[in-house]
Amino acid sequence: MFDASYILTFLPKLLESLPVTLGLVGVATAAGLLLGLLFALARLEKLPVLAEASTVLISFLRGTPVLVQMFVVYYGLPLLLQGIGIDILRWDKIIFIYITYALNASAYFSEGIRAAVLAVPARQWDAAAACGLTKGQSYRRVILPQALPIAIPSLGMTFTGLLQDSSLAFSLGILDVMGRAKTLGALTSRALEAYAAAAVIFIILTLLSNAGFHTAGRSRKRKEALT
């Protein structure tokens, strides 16, 4: 039945698809952080309309499965953009996946960033203002550098969650590590071994990500203690 030696033959094949998984997570993290920062700023600064829109969007993205979001983006975005004369039906499927995961991650990133900024003591704002810094300068030079170490654990959790969720992209036909495992399993009728090999890769990636954010959080704290 279960033949562990197949795991070793499958691993190199699955690793060929690792760039797809990492690319997905990387793009979603970069775009998600940027979007998340914008959403967080809109809410922190109570910008009219934008703040309310961000709140609703974040609630929706956090309250619905990423699997459903993926299909809503896949079927909905072409229709939405057709309305303003842009044809994206020919786009590569992976772009819809990037957009879905970037949006999904942005909601969690935004909450992490917002909580961290609110955790910076109010007197830091007063001190920055007393030095004659503008709002933008205060954010850039005083508040965000102090918010970052507070946000690291939450950002890490979002990143790990994103890594795990990326395994759902196969349901739209993306050949990431998970998608590759599924096709390999079907081709060789050794599905269990193929899934085990994929599990090994995901477990290692998760442990690496956890360890990375753990050390990042610690070194940040140490740096703070020194200054």
Partner 1 sequence: MDFAFLWTALQAAAARIPATLSLAFVPFAAGILVGLPTALVRRSSLPVLPNVLAGLVALIKGIPVVLMMLVFFVLASETFDGFMQSLGLPWTFRELDKSLVAGAALTVYATAAMCEVFRGALAAVPQSQYDAAYAAGLTGAQTLRRIILPQMVAPALPMTCNILVALVKSAAIASLVSVVDVMNGAVIAAAGNYRFLEAYIAAALVYWALCLLIENIFRLAEKKCARRFAV
Binding site for partner 1 (CB under 8 A): 1, 59-60, 62-69, 71-72, 75-76, 79, 164-165, 167-168, 171, 178, 181-182, 185, 191-192, 195-196, 198-199, 202-207
SS (H, E, C) the chain: CCCCHHHHHHHHHHHCCHHHHHHHHHHHHHHHHHHHHHHHHHHHCCCCCHHHHHHHHHHHHHHCCHHHHHHHHHHHHHHHHHCCCCCCCCCCHHHHHHHHHHHHHHHHHHHHHHHHHHHCCHHHHHHHHHCCCCHHHHHHHHHHHHHHHHHHHHHHHHHHHHHHHHHHHHHHCCCCHHHHHHHHHHHHCCHHHHHHHHHHHHHHHHHHHHHHHHHHHHHHHHHHHHC
Q: Which is nearer to partner 1, 71 or 125 (CB)?
A: 71
Q: Which is nearer to partner 1, 8 or 204 (CB)?
A: 204
Least Å distance between CB 64 and partner 1?
4
Least Å distance between CB 198 and partner 1?
6
Least Å distance between CB 134 and partner 1?
36
Q: Which is nearer to partner 1, 39 or 111 (CB)?
A: 111
Least Å distance between CB 93 and partner 1?
15
Least Å distance between CB 153 and partner 1?
12
Least Å distance between CB 16 and partner 1?
18
Q: Which is nearer to partner 1, 128 or 150 (CB)?
A: 150
d(CA 102, CA 166): 11
Whole-angstrom CA distances from 62 to 105, 147, 188, 217 are 9, 22, 38, 25
Q: Which is nearer to partner 1, 41 or 178 (CB)?
A: 178
Q: Which is nearer to partner 1, 124 or 210 (CB)?
A: 210
